[in-house]
Amino acid sequence: MGFFLVLKAELVRTFIIMRRYWFATLTSLVIGYGMLMGLILGFMARRDQVTEMIDNRFGVDPSSATNAALGLIIGSFAFGIIGIFSQGLQNMARSGQLEQLCLSPHGLVTNFLARSLVGSTASILTSSIILFLVAHSVEGRIYADPLPVAALLFLTYVDLIGFGFMLGGLVLLFKQTGQIAVIVRIALLGLAVWASDRVDTGYAVLDALVHILPVTDAAICLKHVLIRNQILLDTGQFVSVFEISSFYYLVLNSLVWTAIGISVFKWMENWSRDKGTLGSY
């Protein structure tokens, strides 16, 4: 019950700020659109090559435009969510709002869950708008089953927050680590762009490591649903996401990371209370 009120409070706050700072909201949309358009137009200049790949119908080439564009969107989604826990937390400490959240009778974890849920919903909405605008501009069509995509996006969110909580706990303790988190965020973005059908680095250990990191399997599944399903559409066949191993990795990954992340966060919150740095900058 309390969680939904916190969620509502966050939603209203986010909406008011987006509306009040409409210029910033609008420019971020335009910039996102511009970047994606640039990327796609670049690939369109080499259209025949791309068509050939799609005709191939074998797999998704990691260098294909759609793969990169989708990767960029999923990557920036991850970038954003982790950002709420790292830089976001650091900025809140600086502005004094974190202290208020620490004094909330629902606890920090609930508040950050609500905050990140609202933040990611907002970013999914803006990404969808950008994606549809881009698709419209290049006269392509986006076909997406809303339900599986939404379910996968939610899993992606769960996959990321555990990691986010872990970084957030670190930032609670050592406020300056917010800067280091930028590297982690960029790495996740790169991972989302790079990960395609399978992970195959040639080294078993490295493969395992890549699977353990959040976002990898999420990106694979989402790309799978959004690209492969479209490719096979005219044959009337869907490749179900349940048929790829990444989906199960994703579910497992989400559960494990969330459990670890929230425990670590609570532990660090307590430590921070001992150190006297909870909520302050």
Partner 1 sequence: MNPGYMVEVANVNKVFHTHHFLQRHEESGKRAWYRKKTVRAARNISFGIRKGEIFGLLGPNGAGKTTTVKMISGLVRPTAGAVYVDGMNVDTKRLATLRRIGVVLEGTRTSIWPLTPLENLAYFGNLRDVKGPVLRKRGMELLDLIGLKDKMNVQVRHLSRGQKQKLAICIALISDPPVLLLDEPTTGLDVQSSRSIKDKILEITRELGKCVLVTTHDMNVAQELCDNIGIIADGRLVACKPTHALIDYFSDVTCAFYLDRAADPTPFLGIPGVLSAECNSEDGEYALVLRLIRQEDQRSAALYAIVELLKNSGRLLHGVERRKQTLENVFIQLTSGLPPATGD
Query: Which residues contribute to the site for partner 1 (CB under 8 A)?
Result: 2, 5-6, 8-9, 12-13, 16-17, 20-21, 95-97, 99-107, 111, 270, 273-276, 278-280
- Per rule CB under 6 A, is residue 128 in the interface with ligand ADP? no
Work out the angle at residue 183's Cα, subtended by the Cα atoms of residues 181 and 184, and round it to the nearest 5 degrees.
Answer: 65
Report yes or no: 116 and 164 within 8 Å, Cβ to Cβ.
yes
CA distance 241 to 229: 9
Residue 175 or 211 with smaller CB distance to partner 1: 175
Residue 179 or 245 with smaller CB distance to partner 1: 179
Considering only 120, 228, 276, 279, the residue that binds ligand ADP (CB under 6 A) is: 276
Considering only 14, 28, 91, 277, the residue that binds ligand ADP (CB under 6 A) is: 277
Closest CA to 238 of 143, 119, 151: 143
Site residues for ligand ADP, 43-82, by CB under 6 A, read none
Residue type for position 90: Q
- Name the binder of 21 from ligand ADP, partner 1, none, CB < 5-8 A by kind: partner 1
Which string of x and - marks every residue 216-255 that binds ligand ADP (by CB under 6 A)?
----------------------------------------
- Name the binder of 177 from ligand ADP, partner 1, none, CB < 5-8 A by kind: none
Report yes or no: 164 and 84 within 8 Å, Cβ to Cβ.
yes
CA distance 97 to 94: 8
Give the C-alpha distances (Å, rounded to integers) separating 138 from 26, 40, 133, 224. Answer: 21, 8, 9, 22
CA distance 128 to 94: 32
Residues within the interface to ligand ADP (CB under 6 A)? 275-277
